[in-house]
């Protein structure tokens, strides 16, 4: 599980490096201005492109041939690695759906606003997690309710 999270962060960092360095959103400007929306649109599209590129690499490796390790331990290790890789790609497939939803929110003028409270999510949170749909406080309350429901 930690590998998938680290991989998601690496792919997002790669997408951020692909952005033009001449603009980074900040709190001093109007919230969700055209420049900010354009920044997040480009970031989300670059993130999606990075994920799809990584998925193509995985697909190519799978097509290159089956695992044929002569040693049983090596074969088991290889199969475990492939299992982790495939779980990561499945997680990223779900992430693409969230990226697409964020792009739709940008088009609808709803991006950057909390789904629960209607308050601004915040530039720093969106830079860290561009697919965020709730403020930190609303997300924490949501997770507490989820935990309580699971414990019952």
HEC profile of 72-124: HHHHHHHHHHHHHHHHHHHHHHHHHHHHHHHHHHHHHCCCCECCCCCCECCHH
Place of tokens 């952005």: 19
CA distance 25 to 29: 8
- pTM of the predicted structure, to 2 decimals: 0.76
- pLDDT tens digits, one per residue of 99-121: 999 999 999 999 999 999 999 99
Which residues span the domain enclosing 73?
2-112
Nearest to 111 by CA among 92, 91, 93, 130: 130
Residue 151 falls within a domain, yes or no? no
- Residue 67 — pLDDT band, cuts 50, 70, 90? low
- pLDDT tens digits, one per residue of 37-52: 999 999 999 999 988 8
The answer to whether 105 and 111 are in contact (CB under 8 A) is yes
Residue 50: Cβ within 10 Å count: 20
Q: What is the DSSP letter of 27?
A: T
The count of domains in the chain is 1
The pLDDT value recorded for residue 21 is: 77
Residue 28 falls within a domain, yes or no? yes
CATH number at residue 35: 1.20.120.910
Residue 140 falls within a domain, yes or no? no
Pair of tokens at residue 116: 């629960």
């Amino acid at each position: 599980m930690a590998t998938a999270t680290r991989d998601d962060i690496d792919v997002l960092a790669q997408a951020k490096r692909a952005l033009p360095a001449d603009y980074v959103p900040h709190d001093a400007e109007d919230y969700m201005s055209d420049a900010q929306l354009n920044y997040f649109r480009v970031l989300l599209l670059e993130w999606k492109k990075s994920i799809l590129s990584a998925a193509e690499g995985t697909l190519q490796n799978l097509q290159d041939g089956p695992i044929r390790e002569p040693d049983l331990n090596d074969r088991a290790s290889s199969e475990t690695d492939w299992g982790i890789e495939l779980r990561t790609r499945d997680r990223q497939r779900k992430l693409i759906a969230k990226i697409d939803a964020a792009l739709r929110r940008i088009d609808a003028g709803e991006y950057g606003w909390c789904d629960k409270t209607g308050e601004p999510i915040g530039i720093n949170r969106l830079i860290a997690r561009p697919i965020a749909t709730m403020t930190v406080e609303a997300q924490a309350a949501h997770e507490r309710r989820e935990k309580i429901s699971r414990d019952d």
